[in-house]
A and B are shown apart, each in its own frame.
Chain A
Amino acid sequence: MTQNIKTPWTQKDLLGLRDLSVAEIELILDTAKSFSEVSQREVKKVPVLRGKTVVNLFLEPSTRTRVSFELAEKRLSADSIGMASGGSSMTKGESLWDTIANIEALKVDIIVMRHGSSGAPHRVSNYTKCGIVNAGDGINEHPTQALLDMFTLREIKGKIKGLKVVFVGDILHSRVARSNVWGLTKLGAEVVICGPKTLIPWGIEELGVKVIHDVKKAIDGADAVTLLRIQMERQNETLFPSIREYASTYGMNTELFKYAKPDAILMHPGPVNRGVEIESALADSAQSYILKQVTNGIAVRMAVLYLLSGAIKNEK
């Protein structure tokens, strides 16, 4: 039967790209490549997680990530249940720890978790035998999004090493940017961060990225540009004068995008705010891979759930 040549996956959790080795990241990306074929079939289902149960615990709003995880689980034949904070006993005062303990008592194998506080899944993972997949924690990490971004980059550009990848927008509140920075720098890409000074986290250069505030200079010669939304819901102070002013300075449009390489690709983790960080025409152009990212997200999440399920030792 199939031989195991690569390093096998041994962690029960996927908390962030910060904790992963280059080999582990590549294992996920390679596995995802094999899984992408499943979604092209007429019968989009394989029996690998038959009998496994996955709870999607989303304590912050989400459409893309949640639907993507649910589809990934269903295509792997897992039984999946959705839980949101609104409809759960957490509104009655139950703590996150008790909620997790109860989910574990229900013999659940994997918890896909989104939480508004950075580090919540990391804390919880030590208290449970369930595998924890971080689906976004506060402003810290969103590993599966970064993995699907890297998967898309590798698919279109054939490699990641040596690529110039630029992130423009609200980096301060972006877990997507942080996960990407960890992952892309590990795989040898040149990462440039761009945005107004108030929206760039202090000291991010220490992670091995370049900060350039001038958009034209930042995207000059870029292989890929990822635009990030302004996360108004996480801002309780005024970090820039107005959305319109942001749009006129940092909003990407067809003219501006010409500063990047002619074959540069445009990415966006969504949700897209048309007319703010991105011009509508550019979002729908041939250089935009936004919807390709969404498609790839399912394969990446299938790969993650598949690999994790081999390392979970919840009692039967």
Chain B
Amino acid sequence: MTASEKQVLDAGGMERVLARIAHEILERNQGISNLALIGIRTRGVFLAERLQKKLYEIEKKEVPVGILDITLYRDDLSEVGPKPEVHETNIPFDLKGKAVILVDDVLFTGRTIRAALDALIDLGRPKVIRLAVLVDRGHRELPIKADYVGKNVPTSLQDRVTIRLKETDGEDEAVISGGPKA
């Protein structure tokens, strides 16, 4: 965290939030059967893996984790400009009949989730798809809502929400920065 940033979740907070979401997932799904976690690249993947660990601690059963790259489904691809880098999608299990928990770090406009839903449907037909996010910062541009939210963080459009994870950034935290008066 730097001077211009405001922390909204620290390492301990993130840990507790993920534990709560794991319990909520199990409660709503009435157990662990049929569950699958799919993380949206990049940070969603690590959050999905952490949820997998939490679920294992509670139920002693392993939930499969898949990796989804939504680049090919973005709605801004037809705009002229160099194409974004495409990474691999790797979902090593059949989606058919699964209760899929889609995992991402920040829910903002909802466009990433729309792309992810299209991508998932192309890969198979899950029984249900639910959405888990670490931070919901508002300002949706599409009719999309998360089922499991780590923390609701009211922001202005100019704010920047940054999630840092041990796996990618060396530490666990969520911060806001860069607003007009921040």
Write the residues of chain A forming the contact surface with B, with a CB cutoff of 8 angstroms.
1-6, 8-10, 27, 30-31, 33-35, 37-38, 41-43, 45-48, 50-51, 303, 306-307, 309-313
Q: Which residue of B lies closest to A31 (CB)?
A: B86
**A310 pairs with B80, CB closer than 8 A:** yes
Cα A6 to Cα B86 with chains together (Å): 11
Interface residues of B in 107-147 (CB under 8 A from A): 112, 118, 122-124
Chain B nearest CB, measured from A194 CB (Å)? 36
B76-121 interface with A by 8 A CB criterion: 77-78, 80-90, 112, 118
Among A27, A30, A42, A310, contact of B81 (Cβ-Cβ < 8 Å):
A310
Q: Could you count the A-B residue pairs with CB atoms below 8 Å apart for me: how many are there?
A: 66
Q: Name the CB-closest residue of B to A32.
A: B86
- Whether the Cβ atoms of B83 and A2 lie closer than 8 Å is no
A4–B78 Cα distance when bound, in Å, is 17
CB neighbours (8 Å) of B74 from chain A are 1
B contact residues around A2 at 8 Å (CB): 41, 69-71, 84-85, 87
Please determine whether B78 and A8 come into contact, CB atoms closer than 8 angstroms. no
Complex contacts, B85 vs chain A, CB 8 Å: 2-6, 27, 30-31
* A4 pairs with B84, CB closer than 8 A: yes
Q: In this complex, what residue of B is CB-closest to A42?
A: B124
Residues A306 and B82 in contact in the complex (CB < 8 Å), given A34-B88, A37-B89, A43-B123: no
Query: How far, in whole Å, are A35 and B72 apart by their CA atoms in the complex?
Result: 9
Q: Are B83 and A310 in contact (CB under 8 A)?
A: yes
Residue ID in chain B nearest A77 by CB atoms: B72
User: Which residues of the partner chain B approach A6 to less than 8 Å between Cβ atoms?
Assistant: 85
A10 in contact with B124 given A33-B88, A37-B88 (CB within 8 Å): no
The smallest beta-carbon distance between B92 and chain A, in angstroms, is 11
B74's closest neighbor in chain A, by CB? Answer: A1
Q: For the complex, what is the distance from the CA of A30 to the CA of B85, rounded to whole Å?
A: 9
The verdict on A41 contacting B83 (CB below 8 Å), with A34-B69, A51-B78 known, is no
Q: How far is the CA of A279 from the CA of B77 in the complex (A)?
A: 47
Partner of A46, one of B73, B81, B124: B73
**Whose C-beta in chain B lies nearest to the C-beta of A51?**
B78
| With A5-B85, A31-B85, A42-B124 already in contact, 5 other A-B pairs whose C-beta atoms are closer than 8 Å | A1-B74, A27-B85, A43-B122, A46-B122, A51-B78
Closest to B88 in A: A34
Which of B87, B112, B124 has most chain A Cβ within 10 Å? B87
B83 touches A307 (CB 8 A): yes
How many angstroms from the CA of A46 to the CA of B87 in the assembled complex? 14
Report A221 CB to chain B, min CB distance, Å.
33
Shortest Cβ distance from B82 into A: residue = A8
A307 to B77, CA, bound (A): 11
B86 and A310 contacting across the interface, CB-CB below 8 Å:
no
B140 CB, nearest partner CB in chain A, Å: 15
Q: How far is the CB of B94 from chain A (nearest CB, A)?
A: 10
A4 contacts B41, C-beta separation under 8 Å: no
Q: What is the minimal beta-carbon distance from B14 to any residue of chain A, in angstroms?
A: 22
Chain A's nearest CB lies how many Å from the CB of B160? 13
- CB closest chain-A residue, reference B89: A37
In the bound complex, CA of A51 to CA of B112 (Å): 21
Of B73, B83, B89, which is within 8 A of A8 by CB? B83
Q: Which residues of A have CB within 8 Å of B90? A: 37
- Cβ-defined contact, B83 with A306, below 8 A: yes
Cα-based distance from A9 to B81 in the complex (angstroms): 9
Interchain nearest-CB distance for A315 vs B (Å): 11
Complex contact A41–B122 (CB within 8 A): yes
Q: With the chains together, A51 CA to B78 CA distance in Å?
A: 9
Interchain CB contact (< 8 A) of B87 among A34, A45, A47, A310: A34
**Which chain A positions have C-beta within 8 A of B89?**
34, 37
- Contact check: which of A30, A38, A41, A47 meets B118 at CB < 8 Å? A47
Q: A41-B123, A43-B122, A47-B118 are in contact. Are A4 and B82 (CB under 8 A)?
A: yes
- Do B73 and A309 touch (CB < 8 A)? no
The answer to whether B112 touches A1, judged by C-beta atoms less than 8 angstroms apart, is: yes
Contacts of B88 in A (CB 8 A): 33-34, 37
Nearest Cβ on chain B to A236's Cβ, whole angstroms: 43
Give Cα A10 to B80, complex, Å.
11
